[in-house]
Structure 1
Amino acid sequence: MDVNDLRIIATVISFVTFLGILWWAYARRNQSAFEQAANIPFEQD
Structure 2
Amino acid sequence: MDINILRSVATVLSLCAFVGIVFWAYSRRNTSRFDEAAQLPFMDENALQRAQEQS
Equivalences, count? 45
Superposition TM-score, scaled by structure 1 size? 0.98
CA distance in 2, matches of 1:36, 1:12: 34
Percent pairwise identity = 53
What is the identity, as a one-letter code, of the residue corresponding to 1:32?
S
The offset of 1:20, in angstroms, is 0.2
Answer 1 or 2: which has greater helix percent.
2
Unaligned runs of 5+ in 1: none
CA distance in 1, matches of 2:29, 2:44: 27
Superposition TM-score, scaled by structure 2 size? 0.81
The offset of 1:27, in angstroms, is 0.1
Matched, 1:29 2:25: no
List structure 1 segments (4+ residues) > 6 angstroms apart after TM superposition: none
Unaligned runs of 5+ in 2: 46-55
Considering only CA atoms, is the larger Rg found in Structure 1 or Structure 2?
Answer: 2
